[in-house]
Amino acid sequence: MAAAYGWEILPHPAHSSDLAPSDFHLFGPLKRHLGGMAFETEDDLIGELRNWFDNLDVDFFRVGINSLLSRRQKCIDLHGDYVEK
């Protein structure tokens, strides 16, 4: 899929907490959105997730991708040393 968009897939450095995919800025806002909600079925949860994703602005993803790029560059510049947020 990446090739279809002209993207280059870069390897993830082993044991890099600075560039962990789980650190992507998506998870904080998603956690806040779902906080306090209860779902009776998995389908209810999936429906809420789809609704949330459908209503995100494209800039939300652009900012997240750009922040990963800048953090990766900081890590490269520091030769893999710890990168503060």
pLDDT in tens, 15-28: 555 555 556 678 88
- pLDDT reported for residue 22: 53
- pLDDT reported for residue 70: 79
Geometric angle at alpha carbon 14, from 70 and 21, rounded to 5°:
50
What residue ranges of the chain have pLDDT lower than 70?
Answer: 1-2, 10-24, 80-85
Joined together, the tokens standing for residue 22 give 């789980």
Joined together, the tokens standing for residue 49 give 């997730």
- pLDDT reported for residue 21: 55
- pLDDT reported for residue 62: 86
- pLDDT reported for residue 11: 66
Does the pTM exceed 0.85?
no
